[in-house]
Amino acid sequence: MMKLWDAKFKKKLDKEVEEFTSSLTMDKQLAKYDVLGSIAHTRMLAKCKIIKEKEAKKIVFALKEIGRELEKGKFLFKDDEDVHTAVERSLTEKIGTLGEKLHTARSRNDQIALDERLYVKDKIKEIISQITKFQKIILQVAKREQNVIMPGYTHLQHSQPVLFSHWLLAYLEMLERDKSRFNDSYTRVDVCPLGAGAGFGTSLPIDRKFTAKILGFSKVAGNSLDAVSDRDFLIELSSASAILMMHLSRLSEEIVLWNSSEFGFLEIDESFATGSSLMPNKKNPDIPELIRGKTAKVYGELFTILSLMKNLPLAYNRDMQEDKEGFFEMMKIVLSSLNIYTKFLPKIKLNKAKMGEMAEKGETTATDLVEYLVTKKVPFREAHRIVGKILKHLAASGKRLKEVSLSELKNFSDKFAKDVLKRIKVEFSVKSKNSFGGTSPKQVQKRIRDWEKRLA
Ligand code: ARG
């Protein structure tokens, strides 16, 4: 196996140890960033006259060629210990011993920290743009189904009627918080560790600000020990990802429930469902189920990286190599889940009749009666008691609230007048929830307009 460090060793490394310690299968995904970092580093070495301008030109030329090979999938990874070794090995194959100058004033310790940061910066941008895409889809569906009424739940019990669009827009709000978490974490990953060397700086006259600038970082890491051993940015990304997945998982749980025969609120498009190998009658909601499942893996990654770091003395430790596997997997999960939802959600068909029918069940407008009495100056607690008694009376006579007559109501309070009867209807109930952020069509419409402006 190609190594960069075995000159002082008398013995050859055991084959199985080679395999056990190699990280190439994982960190080859960082190759593009390793090349970018190497190009910036070479330019800096020339600018600081540590190598000659002519030498730098040759190195950069060959590194760019490697970059193109990687892009086209033509780069040949050999028996290299890691991605850093692979790039340097290929460079010396191309330009001979001049390639050996690349690693001046650099260590794989600051190199891997750099590669990971560059990778994470790109992923954060990708995730944010995917979230925005999904938010726009949510908005589109909310607008399309603006006036569909369904039961609103607390404790999974029918509580008060709510607009489906209002419910859906709740997820849009969650996603906005997710976006701000990713955005916020970006400021802390946007710090360049390159030039920290193995963790202690260098005696050579390097210019770290120059490297940071050409790599697009807004800051340079201020402590070389911290620069090579900080993985907070992975923890933050995992944590933001875990919260995002928790939101997607909650949405998934509702879709799975609502797709069941018991709820019957919606139907999943056939092109987004699967069947059973045994039961020909089945159409399963696999997408939301898998997203619920994959959420667990993302939580696992957050815990992996937290545990990985908690006992590490300063500065670099090889343990940190284990940050990659779950991390790459996590990014795949987050991006593919967002992507699949943007396709899946607009295809869901609502069973509006069933939703409307269920919106009434459980006497969901009882609170409207209470608020009616409050507007007639009845103290809230007394109004609550009065309506409680009405419900008890109706239950005893096997009647629904929507069947109650004005004279019956008057038996419980003389404050009831003719206009109370329309207050019992779910449409009226929803319309009347016109407090800021409430479920009235007016409020929802306003929120949709706000979001349209914000997401445009
Ligand atoms: N493969 C290592 C990692 O992922 C890169 C840094 C290795 N440094 C070292 N001194 N062995 O963390």
User: Do the domain assignments include residue 378?
Assistant: yes
Identify the residue whose tokens are 């929507």: 402
Among residues 276, 307, 397, 405, the one annotated as catalytic is 276
Given 295, 324, 357, the domain boundary residue is 357
276 assigned to active site: yes
CATH number, position 421: 1.10.40.30
pLDDT score for 281: 83
Question: Are 195 and 91 contained in the same domain?
Answer: no
User: Do the domain assignments include residue 1?
Assistant: no
pLDDT score for 360: 94
Question: Are 61 and 133 contained in the same domain?
Answer: no
Question: Are 254 and 369 contained in the same domain?
Answer: no
pLDDT digits (tens, 9 = 90+) for 92-140: 999 999 999 999 999 999 999 999 999 999 999 999 999 999 999 999 9
Question: Are 180 and 291 contained in the same domain?
Answer: yes
Identify the residue whose tokens are 């009376």: 393
Quickly state the pLDDT bin for 154 (edges 50, 70, 90): very high
* Model confidence, pTM: 0.95
What total number of domains does the chain contain? 3
The whole-number average pLDDT for the span 441-446 is: 98
Question: Are 163 and 41 contained in the same domain?
Answer: no
Question: Are 291 and 155 contained in the same domain?
Answer: yes
Residue nearest atom 11 in ligand 1 by C-alpha distance: 318
Question: Are 34 and 55 contained in the same domain?
Answer: yes
Q: Give the Å distance between the CA of 112 and the centre of ligand 1.
A: 7
Quickly state the pLDDT bin for 151 (edges 50, 70, 90): very high
Question: Are 47 and 128 contained in the same domain?
Answer: no
Question: Are 174 and 322 contained in the same domain?
Answer: yes
Residue nearest atom 12 in ligand 1 by C-alpha distance: 321
User: Do the domain assignments include residue 282?
Assistant: yes
Question: Are 237 and 345 contained in the same domain?
Answer: yes
Question: Are 279 and 353 contained in the same domain?
Answer: yes
224 assigned to active site: no
Residue nearest atom 3 in ligand 1 by C-alpha distance: 321
Supply the range of the domain harboring residue 281.
113-357
User: Do the domain assignments include residue 261?
Assistant: yes
CATH number, position 87: 1.10.275.10
Given 300, 330, 357, the domain boundary residue is 357
Question: Are 341 and 312 contained in the same domain?
Answer: yes
Q: Identify the residues whose C-beta falls under 6 Å from ligand 1.
A: 23, 27, 82, 108-109, 112, 318, 320-321
